[in-house]
Structure 1
Amino acid sequence: MRVVFLTLGSRGDVQPYVALAKELIKTGHESIICTGATFKNFVQENGVEFYKAESDLMAILESDEGREIFNGGRYNIFKMLKYAKEVINPAYRKSMDDFFAASKGCNLIIYHPKALGAVDIAEYLNIPCICMPPVPIIYPVTEFPNLAISPSKNFGPFINKLTYKVNSFGEASYMKYINDFRSKSLHLKNRKAGELLFQVNGKDIPVVYPISPFLFKEVKSWKDRVLISGFFFLDIGESRIDENLYEFLENGKKPIVVSFSSMPLKKPMVFKEKLIRALKETNNRAIVLIGSSGMRFENQENIFEVEKVPHRLIFSKAKGIIHHGGIGTTAEALLSGVPQLIIPFTVDQPFWAHRLFSKGYSVGTLKEKNLESFDLIKAFKDMENKEYIRNAKEIKNIIESEKGLENAVRYIEKVYKSF
């Protein structure tokens, strides 16, 4: 079986697909990933075939223009719309042709909802496809609303399920490009937005969520339409931390690890001062993964700054973890068995912040704009609370036992054989 993965977005939108592609290769199948050029080395270093998609959302977000338009600099909706019309939308259209080229000769498509045209390609090639969003946002359930509508409220079964109707409109602004692709590249007739959301060629589209079933054990309305596989953890091989960081870890008590990954703080210097104050007040050390946060910590006693490092190498060595609540970082924090504090920014992050705190697997959820030093001081003290430490160890053992990649591979093989 040759499987093509079609995905666009940030590291969190690509890494789960890389992990699953590697697992499929391990079990004797072939895999190819079509995504933005930013991730070419990442994909290939993990032994997976790469095909470039024109739309590189990560490169856009990391560009000077992208940061100004999308990362809260001088927020201007008209600039965003103009940039989308002139840059993003044409790249999306070209990416559909890239997805099509990458899919030829494949037996099954696994796609991110951002990968426009994926289901249309499956329709044309008459091969099975599986929708695999990193977060539980596609299939309507009664237990909680669409996280795009509310990350924390419960409107009751009927309204909760109704909120997922917005998914049908997700394609609406791109239908001009999708139908152009269907007409010119696939020679198929035009379709309406949302028409292929759950079915293609008269068959149900399976949905896989690479998340922990334990965190959603109360959800029954996914029934047999959705596989909740367990988190996908990428094998980091023989990666090691550098000597200076190792020395810092060894020569002192366990630090607080801070990582906001690609999320930029709105006021990095303000947050930095509050963090320093809270660390001094509680006599704690810290490792800060700078990422795109905008913070720098030159010559700060008891604070070690590093651009980036695999979370698995340092999270488990921490006293506590502060992070943004992106699903990949959240999964690694849960796997570490260490108490965590989530400061969410956008998209699905408030959803994970709320869910983990409500279940006792984080010490709290704070927002950058109204966070004070005393909030961090309280969080650092809570990280020493025996209940939070016990809960962190409990969820670690559960997450380890779920075997998400193995479950997903078995399911994919079953979908292919029964098609």
Structure 2
Amino acid sequence: MLKYAKEVINPAYRKSMDDFFAASKGCNLIIYHPKALGAVDIAEYLNIPCICMPPVPIIYPITEFPNLAISPSKNFGSFINKLTYKVNSFGEASYMKYNDFRSKSLHLKKRKAGELSFQVNGKDIPVVYPISPFLFKEVKSWKDRVLISGFFFLDIGESRIDENLYEFLENGKKPIVVSFSSMPLKKPMVFKEKLIRALKETDNRAVILIGTSGMTFENEENIFAVEKAPHRLIFSKAKGIIHHGGIGTTAEALLSGVPQLIIPFTVDQPFWAHRLFSKGYSVGTLKEKNLESVDLIKAFKDMENKEYIRNAKEIKNIIESEKGLENAVKYIEKVYKSF
């Protein structure tokens, strides 16, 4: 792994910085993900504004909950919670050669890791989280430094459901939709058997978006399996949704207005699983390694619970009203004009 990092990954990081620099020439503003190394250095060199826009609330230090990389669910108290965000500076390790980029490509002096996390050229770097502010009503310590705009949603345009899948959806009870997106199950066929057992026990149908889960299906009764399909179109026709908790899928599930169950795998997924369950917007959070059919049976029954159905419809209406993309565009224009 170390050899691969040295020979492949680190040179690729270094090359990407020059690519970003070339792309930024003549631009008025840079919007960047923190993993886009060199973005703030380029803004410093070009003397243009930049906006940090990570898809999860992991950058700006707050007191209400810790860095999700440290814990997705625990609360260590205000002081420790805020302290955990210091680990973000380790994301700019010296081997990623950002100082080589500064000196050779930008002709700027070297800097310390994390030095440009929140300020550049003496000005605060605005932070935008494209997530629902309603899910973070209790967070006060973002104050005026962070915009919680609301979720961004793709325009699905002319997207259509496969004809056979459409027929399955229209001719029978609303199904449970299962989608783990690009997440591979450790034991896909074991999970499949538990899922089939739970579906039969509760007399449910299912649409399985196979993705890279590793599951395979061959004409199982009351199950329609397809490699992929537009979440927006499928989720809205579901009785309930099982997914991995990635932020894009989570947002689409919330927008669908139907109950959901999250089975998280990694990264920010456990954070979203915990937050939605704690606020009553999912029926639970399970892990593949210790999941049993009885857990899925309980979840399927909970999806029929009037409270979960009511909560799902409530959050759908709220998220639709937040107009995340519109809020972000207005804010970006304001940042540019006031620079």
Give the TM-score category using the shorter length. over 0.9
Counterparts of 1:55-204 in structure 2, within 5 Å, are 80-177=1-98, 179-204=99-124
Deviations 1:330-372 (A, max 9, x none): 0000000000000000000000000000000000000000001
Deviations 1:253-276 (A, max 9, x none): 000000000111111111111111
What RMSD, in angstroms, separates the aligned Cα atoms of the two structures? 0.9
For 1:360 and 1:229, locate their aligned partners in 2 and report how far apart those are by CA, in whole Å.
22
Kept in 1, the 8 Å contact 2:14–2:96? The answer is no
Kept in 1, the 8 Å contact 2:179–2:209? The answer is yes
SS in 2 for 1:317: coil
Kept in 1, the 8 Å contact 2:232–2:252? The answer is yes
For 2:241 and 2:33, locate their aligned partners in 1 and report how far apart those are by CA, in whole Å.
29
TM-score (norm 2): 0.99
TM-score (norm 1): 0.80
The alignment covers a number of residue pairs equal to 339
SS in 2 for 1:211: coil
Deviations 1:295-341 (A, max 9, x none): 11121111111111110011010000000000000000000000000
Alpha-carbon spacing, 1:173–1:265, altered in 2? closer, same or farther (3 Å) = farther
For 2:217 and 2:3, locate their aligned partners in 1 and report how far apart those are by CA, in whole Å.
37
Kept in 2, the 8 Å contact 1:175–1:193? The answer is no
Kept in 1, the 8 Å contact 2:176–2:207? The answer is yes
> What's 2:239 paired with?
319
Report the Cα offset of residue 149 of structure 1: 0.5
Report the Cα offset of residue 175 of structure 1: 4.7
Report the Cα offset of residue 83 of structure 1: 2.4
SS in 1 for 2:261: strand
5+ residue gaps, structure 2, are none
For 1:128 and 1:82, locate their aligned partners in 2 and report how far apart those are by CA, in whole Å.
37
For 1:414 and 1:145, locate their aligned partners in 2 and report how far apart those are by CA, in whole Å.
30
Deviations 1:120-158 (A, max 9, x none): 110111100000000000000100000000000011111
For 2:38 and 2:152, locate their aligned partners in 1 and report how far apart those are by CA, in whole Å.
25
SS in 2 for 1:341: strand
Report the Cα offset of residue 242 of structure 1: 1.2
Kept in 2, the 8 Å contact 1:324–1:342? The answer is yes
Kept in 2, the 8 Å contact 1:230–1:399? The answer is yes
Kept in 2, the 8 Å contact 1:363–1:382? The answer is yes
SS in 2 for 1:244: helix
Match of 2:282 among 362, 380, 384: 362
Deviations 1:205-224 (A, max 9, x none): 00000000000000000000
Kept in 2, the 8 Å contact 1:175–1:192? The answer is no
5+ residue gaps, structure 1, are 1-79
Deviations 1:226-250 (A, max 9, x none): 0000000111112110100000001
Deviations 1:72-105 (A, max 9, x none): xxxxxxxx33322222221111111111111111
Report the Cα offset of residue 173 of structure 1: 4.4
For 1:362 and 1:181, locate their aligned partners in 2 and report how far apart those are by CA, in whole Å.
45
Deviations 1:380-412 (A, max 9, x none): 000000000000000000000000011001100
For 2:282 and 2:254, locate their aligned partners in 1 and report how far apart those are by CA, in whole Å.
9
SS in 1 for 2:97: helix
Kept in 1, the 8 Å contact 2:64–2:78? The answer is yes
SS in 1 for 2:213: coil
Report the Cα offset of residue 174 of structure 1: 3.9
Q: What is the percent sequence identity of the aligned residues?
A: 96
SS in 1 for 2:174: coil
Kept in 2, the 8 Å contact 1:291–1:307? The answer is yes
> What's 1:12 paired with?
none
> What's 2:185 paired with?
265
For 1:174 and 1:119, locate their aligned partners in 2 and report how far apart those are by CA, in whole Å.
18
Report the Cα offset of residue 163 of structure 1: 0.7
For 1:374 and 1:144, locate their aligned partners in 2 and report how far apart those are by CA, in whole Å.
32
For 1:156 and 1:347, locate their aligned partners in 2 and report how far apart those are by CA, in whole Å.
22
For 1:373 and 1:85, locate their aligned partners in 2 and report how far apart those are by CA, in whole Å.
45
Deviates more, 1:205-214 or 1:305-314: 305-314
Kept in 1, the 8 Å contact 2:175–2:239? The answer is yes
Report the Cα offset of residue 176 of structure 1: 2.8
Deviations 1:167-214 (A, max 9, x none): 12211244534x111111111111110010100011000000000000
For 1:268 and 1:143, locate their aligned partners in 2 and report how far apart those are by CA, in whole Å.
37
For 2:236 and 2:114, locate their aligned partners in 1 and report how far apart those are by CA, in whole Å.
42
